[in-house]
Amino acid sequence: MTPAVDTRVVLSRRLLAGRGALPEPVEVGVGPVGIGELRIRAAYSLISPGTELHYLERLMGTGETFPLGYCSAGTVEAVGPGVRGFTVGDRVTAMGWGEATHGDVVVVPYRLCRPVPDSVHLADAVVANLAATAVHAVDRAELRPGDEVAVVGAGMVGLLIAQTAAAAGHRVTVTDLHPGRLRTAGALGVPVWEAPFPPGPPAPPGSSRCVFLCGTGEASGTLAEAARWATRAPVRPRVVGVGRFAARVEFSVDLGNLDLRYAARCGAGYRDYAYARGYTDVTPPQGQATVTENLQRALDLIAGGAIRPDRMGLPRLPLEQAADAYAELRGRPAHPAVVFAYEPAEESRT
């Protein structure tokens, strides 16, 4: 017998960009689950600082509002028609712009969710959603054995890329101008360097280098330095943009042979309404994966200890302190992000 679909409308707090310089929780009604969707009672959600601060600035004073957040973790409350692999009561991590928002209750397409093993705390599992972006960026870089990696920017995504690349066996150095962020990177066991790029002689014959640019703002000078460092390796140097930045590139023979790439989002099928709900499938480019697969790979890295959210210094705050959290993140504190906590009982899980 097919179980009855839960058609209730439930109340949830939610953070909206556009209501002011800093968001405050508002109460909204969350409708019933649709085809291919899960309703989740959130335990935690994760601020993605670069994206969310961007939208706070962009929407302020326009009269437009938009729910903030796209990384949530909690327990399945209702399962929509056509969903495969999930049941009520499952612990899950969930992602989706405009879907896995900051709030007590969210409705998310099931292909943007993955079950969380009992061994993983939900406050750690919620980081898998941003880690899927890191997994995709490393795929886009097409790293090969022996490649040396520099990550510019010890923000949340930069630290996740560093751990992902290190887990694949690459020598990784993180650079940042912020001493507190470098201390956070050091707590993860990742080598750090205060100058823009690691020092040292040119790379040995047959080797290659890759730079991940994970910063924000104007980055023309940083990009030029990244190119100079990468091209001191003899084989196929690469610079992969990941952050939200602008840069001018001076193309000339002085630049050398250099691949410039950009890694956006977190895999094939993300922001694809039909794929996310199971109506259609997608075929990723060779060497890449779907958003569902990348989310699972990220969760596996956390479960295996290769990505350590517990060492990233992420404060856990109630949603009522959202304004303070975003105000502090604007100043680039030592912690790269903030986790909102909705279910204190989850704290006791081991």
Mean pLDDT on 132-156 = 95
**Rounded-to-integer distance, Cα 170 and Cα 173, Å:** 10
Q: Domain 133-262 belongs to what topology?
A: Rossmann fold (3.40.50)
CA distance from start to end of the chain: 36
Q: Is the dihedral of CA 53, 55, 58, 62 positive or negative?
A: negative
The chain-wide mean pLDDT, for the chain, equals: 91
Helices (H), the chain: 49-59, 122-125, 128-141, 156-167, 179-187, 220-230, 273-276, 291-303, 322-330
- Rounded to whole angstroms, how far apart are CA atoms 264 and 244? 10
Q: pLDDT band at residue 292, thresholds of 50, 70 and 90?
A: very high
Whole-prediction pTM: 0.94
**In this predicted model, what pLDDT tens digit does every residue of 30-88 receive, in sequence order?**
888 999 999 999 999 999 999 999 888 888 878 788 899 999 999 999 999 999 999 99
Kindly give, in sequence order, each residue whose CB lies less than 8 Å from that of residue 105, ignoring residues fewer than 6 positions away. Answer: 10, 11, 12, 30, 39, 40, 41, 42, 77
| pLDDT at residue number 84 | 95
CA 292 to chain centre: 14
Q: Are 116 and 122 in contact (CB under 8 A)?
A: yes
> Helix 179-187 crosses helix 156-167 at what angle (to 10 degrees)?
30
Q: Do the Cβ atoms of 133 and 266 come closer than 8 Å?
A: yes
Above pLDDT 90, what percent of the chain? 73
For residues 205-215, give the mean pLDDT: 91
Which SS3 state, helix, strand or coil, does residue 89 take? coil
Q: To the nearest whole percent, how much of the chain has pLDDT over 70?
A: 97
- pLDDT, tens only, 311-334: 999 999 999 999 999 999 999 999
Q: Residue range 251-274: average pLDDT? A: 91
Residue 306: pLDDT band (50, 70, 90) is very high
The predicted structure's pLDDT at residue 3: 57
* pLDDT (tens digit per residue) in 193-203: 987 787 778 88
Residue 44, SS3 per DSSP: strand
CB under 8 Å to 254, separation ≥6 — which residues? none
Mean pLDDT on 273-298: 97
From residue 73, how far is each of 38, 41, 201, 271, 316 by CA, in Å?
12, 8, 45, 19, 13
Q: Indicate the SS3 state at residue 25.
A: strand
| Cβ neighbour number for residue 254 with a 10 Å cutoff | 9
- Give the residue among 159, 99, 101, 100 at the shortest CA–CA distance from 134: 159
Structural contact between residues 74 and 92, judged by C-beta atoms closer than 8 angstroms: yes
CB 128 within 8 A of CB 114: yes
pLDDT for residue 347: 46
> What are the structural domain ranges in the chain?
10-127+314-348, 133-262
Q: Which of 265, 242, 278 is nearest to 113 (CA)?
A: 278
Specify the CATH number for 10-127+314-348; select among 3.30.200.100, 3.40.1280.10, 3.10.150.10, 3.90.180.10.
3.90.180.10
